[in-house]
């Protein structure tokens, strides 16, 4: 069964029962279908054709969920647009991608420069809303019709084009075929014990609080595919998320390490999480001691997984593995999933490592990769096939699950007239895992810039999680004899 056909069947099956909850308001499956079809009709009216690539403002709003459903139903490739990007970068993305149509919320279209960028690209713009008053779709004034291209070529067979986190290099667009998506959704459905038999609307919803611009989009798609309602939140919070867990009593929940720490530090009562059989965690390293503290306090196993946008899930813990190996393999991200192969290669020679030494992790995933794909992770694989991530080969900083590339941040800081050079490095943070700190070499004859103006510069050109939390100022950056920046010395300055 094709994805659009399955979704249509689920929407009809659900009818007037609730499919989506947001800030106290519930919406039915029938409402999602009606608005999704209205979006499909509006895209056609704007001049786009079936299989065209449509820009999708990935926000945690009911309208964005309805737009995702509409794009699937009407056979368009969903191309993610991250509304959390710096406005200038987002506007540049719209000009360069030249989508035939973009669908987004009022908040998205009010971002400075986006309407002008769409007009320059000849892109039609649609405003989608879904609230207590109902669902609507309308054209953005001045962007009613797409104008003659060139525009992005149609992409038949491609369901979604995600923005990668950059595990295999700088962030980039990663098109994913319907075959690969359906395969991944089927695996996710089995892991949720949703069953593969007769379709039925589930009673327990998926609580989605992770950004739709990142992992949240797969969570929403998995819920729709599984005929499971979505309890959508703008972001994770102890008050609202734990309240949703109490009310809806899900059996499985996905939490990044920072959220797990927040639950432990808030001393959330054990009974508030009593419905959970397991917690899934990924996107950032999980402190083994934090995992042990959580599992001891709540009696809920944490099943860590490993993957990336480019190749999907590659390794994970299962409940049977956790029962047998939890204590002995603490710190591992699990074993290869079905259809995936893992290997370690020597960082210098590229030859496979078979004696347990650390090297570069390579993955090969059925329907996802064309042969072996190198990551930027340093890893080991033990005699039982458990994968341990030991660090990163590219000095990337993982801040609360989001990847920060130091060189990207440093390039922006060097634009300041008083900055001669800059180095960015991650320092440990109890809540987020790591946070970026910038060490600035000031230009001779210039006044040392203030932290506020450097942060403002960073905010104008970077996504919020890339902005350094602190700035250190030196006359000269420490360097090695080969004139490379000395990372150990930079780290000492950043921590000082």
Domains of the chain: which residue ranges? 3-191, 397-495
Q: In CATH, what number does 397-495 get?
A: 3.30.300.30
Model pTM score: 0.80
Q: Which long-range contacts (CB under 8 A, 24 or more apart) does 347-353 make?
A: 347/378, 347/393
- Which pLDDT band, with edges at 50, 70 and 90, does 171 fall under? low
The C-alpha atoms of residue 436 and residue 405 are separated, in whole angstroms, by 9
Q: Report pLDDT for 393.
A: 79
- For residue 158 the two structure tokens come to 């491609």
Strand partners, 397: 404
| Token pair recorded at residue 255 | 């939490």
Say if CB 55 and CB 99 are below 8 A apart. yes
CATH of 3-191, one of 3.40.50.1820, 3.40.50.300, 3.40.50.1980, 3.40.50.980: 3.40.50.980
In the chain, the percentage of residues whose pLDDT exceeds 90 is: 73
Tokens found for residue 432: 């987020």
How much is the average pLDDT of 219-246? 95
pLDDT grade for 310, boundaries at 50, 70 and 90: confident
pLDDT at 338 over 70: yes
- How many CB atoms sit inside 10 A of residue 487's CB? 14
Residue 169's pLDDT is what? 43
Q: In DSSP terms, which residues pair with 127 in a beta bridge?
A: 104, 138
Element holding 95 (H helix, E strand): helix 87-97
pLDDT of 484 strictly over 80: no
Confidence band of 165 (pLDDT split at 50, 70, 90): low
Q: What is the DSSP string of 132-175?
A: TTEEEEEEPTT-SSPPS---PPP-TTEEEEEEP--TTSS--EEE
Query: Per the structure block, which two tokens stand in for 305?
Result: 């997984």
Instruction: Please report the pLDDT score of residue 289 as a whole number.
Output: 87
| Tens digits of residue pLDDT in 185-201 | 887 666 555 555 678 99
pLDDT tens readout for residues 395-435 = 889 899 888 888 889 989 999 999 989 999 999 998 899 99
For 474, list phi and psi in degrees, rounded to 5.
Answer: -135, 160
Residue 391 has pLDDT above 90, yes or no: no
């Amino acid at each position: 069964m094709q994805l659009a056909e399955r979704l249509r069947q689920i929407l009809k099956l659900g009818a007037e029962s609730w499919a989506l909850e947001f800030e106290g308001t519930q919406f039915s499956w029938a409402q999602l279908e009606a608005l999704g079809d209205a979006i499909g009709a509006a895209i056609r009216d704007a001049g786009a054709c079936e299989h065209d690539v449509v820009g999708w403002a990935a926000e945690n709003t009911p309208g964005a969920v309805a737009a995702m459903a509409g794009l699937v139903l009407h056979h368009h490739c969903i191309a993610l647009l991250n509304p959390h990007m710096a406005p200038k970068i987002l506007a540049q993305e719209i000009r360069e991608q030249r989508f035939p149509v973009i669908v987004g919320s009022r908040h998205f279209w009010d971002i400075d420069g986006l309407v002008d960028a769409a007009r320059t690209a000849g892109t039609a713009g649609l405003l989608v809303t879904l609230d207590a008053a109902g669902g609507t779709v309308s054209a953005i004034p001045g962007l009613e019709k797409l104008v003659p291209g060139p525009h992005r070529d149609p992409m038949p067979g491609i369901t979604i084009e995600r923005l990668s986190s950059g595990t295999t290099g700088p962030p980039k667009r990663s098109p994913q075929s319907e075959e690969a998506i359906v395969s991944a959704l089927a695996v996710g459905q089995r892991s949720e014990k949703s069953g593969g038999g007769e379709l039925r609307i589930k009673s327990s919803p998926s609580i989605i609080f992770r950004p739709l611009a990142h992992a949240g989009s797969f969570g929403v798609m998995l819920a729709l595919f599984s005929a499971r309602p979505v309890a959508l939140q703008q972001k994770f919070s102890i008050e609202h998320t734990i309240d949703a867990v109490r009310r809806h009593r899900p059996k499985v929940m996905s939490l990044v390490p920072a959220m797990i720490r927040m639950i432990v530090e808030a001393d959330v009562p054990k009974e508030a999480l009593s419905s959970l059989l397991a917690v899934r965690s990924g996107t950032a390293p999980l402190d083994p001691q934090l995992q042990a503290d959580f599992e001891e306090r709540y009696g809920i196993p944490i099943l860590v997984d490993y993957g990336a946008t480019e190749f999907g899930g590659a390794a994970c813990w299962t409940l049977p593995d956790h029962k047998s190996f939890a204590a002995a393999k603490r710190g591992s991200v699990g074993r290869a999933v079905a259809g995936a192969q893992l290997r370690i290669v020597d960082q210098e020679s590229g030859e496979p490592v078979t004696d347990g030494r650390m090297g570069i992790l390579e993955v090969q995933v059925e329907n996802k990769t064309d042969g072996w794909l190198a990551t930027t992770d340093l890893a080991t694989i033990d005699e039982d096939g458990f994968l341990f991530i030991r660090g990163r080969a590219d000095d990337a900083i993982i801040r609360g699950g989001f990847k920060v590339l130091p060189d990207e941040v440093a390039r922006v800081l060097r634009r300041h007239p008083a900055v001669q050079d800059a180095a960015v490095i991650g320092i440990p943070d109890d809540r987020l895992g790591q946070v970026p700190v910038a060490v600035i070499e000031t230009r001779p004859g210039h006044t040392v810039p203030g932290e506020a103006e450097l942060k403002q510069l960073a905010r104008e050109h970077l996504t919020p999680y890339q902005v350094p939390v602190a700035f250190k100022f030196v006359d000269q950056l420490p360097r090695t004899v080969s004139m490379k920046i000395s990372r150990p010395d930079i780290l000492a300055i950043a921590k000082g």
